[in-house]
């Protein structure tokens, strides 16, 4: 498989189909925790840098959960959520400066 022209790639991903409107099962709590983890990773909290990848995997797994016959991710959404749920809530803002 060759590389796809960037414009064609964007057009392919922007094409809307009936499966795009299938709702996913995410609670308000889950959305808030995912957002907090993503923000902490962006703010430089090293502990949450890897967790941002878990959030991405979790969202991808959620997107596939409701679609019969579609390939699933390596780890199911319930397992990924448990990993995220077990993390403590990150402190807001950038990490504290460590004394030298």
Q: What is the pLDDT of residues 43-72, one digit of tens each?
A: 989 889 899 999 999 999 998 887 777 667
Length reported for the chain: 100
Q: pLDDT band at residue 79, thresholds of 50, 70 and 90?
A: very high
Instruction: Look at residue 71 in the predicted model and tell me its pLDDT.
Output: 64
Instruction: Look at residue 99 in the predicted model and tell me its pLDDT.
Output: 66
Q: How much of the chain, in percent, has pLDDT values that exceed 70?
A: 91
Number of H helices, E strands in the chain: 4, 0
Give the span between the Cα atoms of 70 and 68, in whole angstroms. Answer: 6
Instruction: Look at residue 24 in the predicted model and tell me its pLDDT.
Output: 87
Instruction: Look at residue 39 in the predicted model and tell me its pLDDT.
Output: 94
Give the span between the Cα atoms of 87 and 32, in whole angstroms. Answer: 13
């Amino acid at each position: 498989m060759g590389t796809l022209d960037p414009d064609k790639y964007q057009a392919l991903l922007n094409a809307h189909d009936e499966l795009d409107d299938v709702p996913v099962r995410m609670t308000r709590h889950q959305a808030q925790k995912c957002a907090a983890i993503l923000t902490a990773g962006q703010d430089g909290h090293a502990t949450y840098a890897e967790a941002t990848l878990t959030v991405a995997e979790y969202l991808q797994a959620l997107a596939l959960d409701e679609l019969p016959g579609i390939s699933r991710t390596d780890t199911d959404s319930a397992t990924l959520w448990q990993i995220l749920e077990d993390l403590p809530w990150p402190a807001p803002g950038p990490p504290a400066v460590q004394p030298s």
